[in-house]
Amino acid sequence: MIAIQNLLLCTNGSPASQAALDYGGWLARALRVPATVLGIVETPASQNLVEDLVQKAVRRMSEDGVGAQSLLREGRSETVIPAVATQSETLTVVGRLGRPALRRLATGSSFRRLMAAIAAPLLFVPVARIPPKRLLVCAGGLSYAADLERLSNALAKALGASLTLLHVVEPVTLDYPLAKQVEARWQDLLETDTPQARNLCAAVDEATASGLTIEVKIRRGSPVREILNELRTGDYDLVGLGSPHSTHGLRHLALPNVTAEVAEAARCPVLSVRYLDPAGNASQAEG
């Protein structure tokens, strides 16, 4: 089970990264965990700005009784952050890095590269919605989502937030009996004897045992579209996603990277948690 013991707040001096510093500082206070503020100096001209942002963030948290320290590194954020974010008990908090649109188009978003390189939990903050009152957890209905669900339970309990568990049933494209059964009974999925139903019910039981009230929603369609629709209609303050699938190899060329596509469109923080096998090894980033 993942237990967050400290936070890593990241900035490269871009104004867009301020949301991550604000949200991460608030979260460190709310969770009562120490934080490290990582300043990445990507160019000599940005050094003074980065140092100033880091010092202000550390000072603000220290004044609020949070153990905070600064850390400065030179290089590209996409390389520096994964090199520092190596502890599974650390939640890395990042915002937009202010990359030009043409660069994002040519090389992909920075978040996609960070997500592929960081095995520990990652919180992407495009907008700081404080305090978070409504959390949406997008589970695939299989056991690999357990780490995401447990961390989301812990966050919801610590923050006093409500919790909604969303499962999206994708249209069947292959001739699998189980997939056909799930699709045929998607509206009453929890009443079926399927792995998806059993895992969803187990997630509800675990949340209830933690003292949380949890709501389950089932949608049918494209996962990215249905998650974004639920975010819009439910006015959630944070969304969590997890998957065992890799962003490496050929798979990502044919299928969407759900977490990355949601993060690029969402107007709230996005929590990404990889599956850990029983030996504690992380899968590749979400697919």
Q: Which domains does the chain have, with CATH numbers?
A: 6-124 (3.40.50.620), 134-272 (3.40.50.620)
Distance CA(193)–CA(267), nearest Å, equals 36
Predicted confidence at residue 275, as pLDDT, reads 63
The more confident residue out of 219 and 3 is 219
pLDDT in tens, 156-168: 999 999 999 998 8
Taking alpha carbons only, the member of 252, 255, 256 closest to residue 264 is 256
Average pLDDT of 227-236? Answer: 93
User: Phi, psi at residue 237, to the nearest 5°?
Assistant: -100, -15
Q: What pTM did the predictor assign?
A: 0.85
pLDDT class of 258 with cuts at 50, 70, 90: confident
User: Phi, psi at residue 132, to the nearest 5°?
Assistant: -75, 120
**pLDDT beyond 80 at 207:** yes
Taken in order 20, 22, 24, 25, the sign of the CA dihedral is positive
Predicted confidence at residue 251, as pLDDT, reads 39
**pLDDT beyond 70 at 135:** yes
pLDDT class of 195 with cuts at 50, 70, 90: confident
Contact between 39 and 73 under an 8 Å Cβ cutoff? The reply is yes
Cα 114 to Cα 45, 93, 154, 223, 234, distances in angstroms: 24, 11, 24, 22, 28
Highest mean pLDDT among 36-45, 151-160, 252-261: 36-45
Contact between 43 and 97 under an 8 Å Cβ cutoff? The reply is no
Question: Which 8-state DSSP code applies to residue 170?
Answer: P
Residue 132: partners with Cβ closer than 8 Å, 6 or more residues away = 159, 161, 237, 238, 269
User: Phi, psi at residue 68, to the nearest 5°?
Assistant: -135, 145
Residue 19 one-letter amino acid:
A
**pLDDT beyond 60 at 277:** no
β pairing state of 270-272 and 90-94: unpaired
Predicted confidence at residue 177, as pLDDT, reads 63
Predicted confidence at residue 286, as pLDDT, reads 41
Average pLDDT of 149-176? Answer: 84
Residue 233: partners with Cβ closer than 8 Å, 6 or more residues away = none
Query: Across all residues in the chain, what is the average pLDDT?
Result: 82
**pLDDT beyond 90 at 73:** yes
β pairing state of 122-124 and 270-272: antiparallel
**pLDDT beyond 60 at 184:** yes
Predicted confidence at residue 178, as pLDDT, reads 63
